[in-house]
Chain A
Amino acid sequence: MALPHQHLTPQEVSFICESELITIVPRQRLGALNLISIDTRPLVPPQRADVPLWLGIFLRKQKRCNIVPPEWLSVDNLERLVKEESDSAAFSRMPWRWLEVAEILLDTCSEDLISPSDIALHIRSLRELRQAKIRAGLSDQMNSSYIKINNLGLMEVSEIRPWVGKVVDGLRKIEGEAGSTAARRRKEDADGDEDMDDDDGY
């Protein structure tokens, strides 16, 4: 068994989002590094620099830098988003990896964020609102040809992936049989029409 899980696990989703860049304020000098994925420039405090998220939290845990939170992770913005989310039935535009980035940042560097407890509260309400919407909305949209859901984050997609996949496949199997019966009936009707035309042409 080479691969235990067929779908992306949450840890792998975190891994993916750790490759994103984030701005940090270094506290110590660090020379330029030639890494496999990216060549970093030297870190000279207090100039801000962009580094991958995994490097940022690594340095932060050792107190060698401070992380600058992304603009969307502020209390005002989150309040606005919560309001948007509860007002409309569609999903509001969220950055692609909002949930993962928010969780990681809250865990490691809550001192760098302004009023982290409020932020945590808003993130949680956003999450619950969106999950409720997903559950309600999908049951309406459930058909076996396609489903369109915009503005979900990667982690949310991974959450619903197993059961939505199964439901769509199940529907496909049921419709497969119904579809072939319908197709056969259509063909019979078409043949019946042809016969009638021949009769008329007599």
Chain B
Amino acid sequence: MEDIDDILREFDSQNAPSNAKDYDDLLKWWINERAAPEILQYQDDLVERIMTRVRRQIEQIEDQTGDLDPRTNFQLIIVQTELERVKFLIRSYLRTRISKIDKHALHILSTPSIRHLLSPSEQTYLRTHQALLNELYLSSFLKNFPDNLKRLDDKAGGLSMVEEPDLEGAVFLRVVRDVSVEIAWEGGETLDMKAGDIYVIRYSAVQDAVKRGEVELI
């Protein structure tokens, strides 16, 4: 005969891992975005879930502020501190992505597969931002250029004006699961990486392993 408390406690303990796991996942994806030279898949569900909880916490804080009981007050301070930490995490995650979008704007616009990695609001931001910049350039100096120099994505002369992410840059990583990686530029030599090792390696060699979660960037 199960008490209602037991049932509730069971329910809670099933929920609690997913709360902690979401936060850990966000932390992991934040570190990944910081370390990777290209932009990664936007974690839509994850961010949505965490934002829901953030909103709920804000409501709870607003309800309980004004209650002068010192015990609740103290709990409120803890809740607020945690809220600030999570907000920082989300903001930094979004800021990292925006800075990458700004850097490689034209490249992302012209490559649909990368465009799909962005969230809808990020895509809107990209388009409007580029439109504004174009307007600005045109009206300030570009209209006075001769016609063949007016393009912003000029690929003539072997040098492209479009800045692409540097996939060959060095990244630090830690191996989560054993994995073998092909190193393309040394004649196809395979590198066996064991769990727990730390490597400094070119991003292009481990790109797929990162996406599959076999290694984590640090």
Contacts and interface: CB of A to CB of B under 8 A. Distances in A.
Contacts of B34: 6-8
> Among B86, B99, B198, B199, which residue has the most Cβ atoms of chain A within 10 A?
B198
Given A8-B31, A146-B191, 5 more contacts: A3-B99, A8-B34, A36-B82, A146-B199, A172-B170
B31 A37 contact: no
The secondary-structure label for the interface of chain B is helix
B145 interface: no
Interface string A37-58: 1110000000000000011001
Interface stretch (A27-35, A75-83, A191-199): A27-35
A129 interface: no
Contacts of A18: 85
B21 to A, nearest CB: 10
A2 B100 CA distance: 9
Interface stretch (A66-74, A104-112, A114-122, A149-157): A149-157
Contacts, number: 113
> Among B88, B168, B205, B218, which residue has the most Cβ atoms of chain A within 10 A?
B218
Contacts of B82: 35-37, 54-55
Interface stretch (B39-47, B73-81, B105-113, B150-158): B73-81
Interface residues of A, number: 40
Contact of B198 (A12, A37, A152): A152
B16 A154 contact: no
Contacts of B207: none
Interface in B159-206: 168-170, 172, 183, 185-186, 191, 196-202, 205
Contacts of B29: none
> Among A12, A37, A161, which residue has the most Cβ atoms of chain B within 10 A?
A37
A178 to B, nearest CB: 12
Contacts of B71: 31
B186 A58 contact: no
Contacts of A179: 185
A64 to B, nearest CB: 9
A165 to B, nearest CB: 5
A16 B79 CA distance: 18
A147 B201 contact: yes
B95 interface: yes
A163 to B, nearest CB: 11
A169 to B, nearest CB: 6
B201 A145 contact: yes
Interface stretch (B49-57, B114-122, B135-143): B49-57
Contacts of B200: 146-147, 149, 164-165, 168
A38 B170 contact: no
A177 B24 CA distance: 42
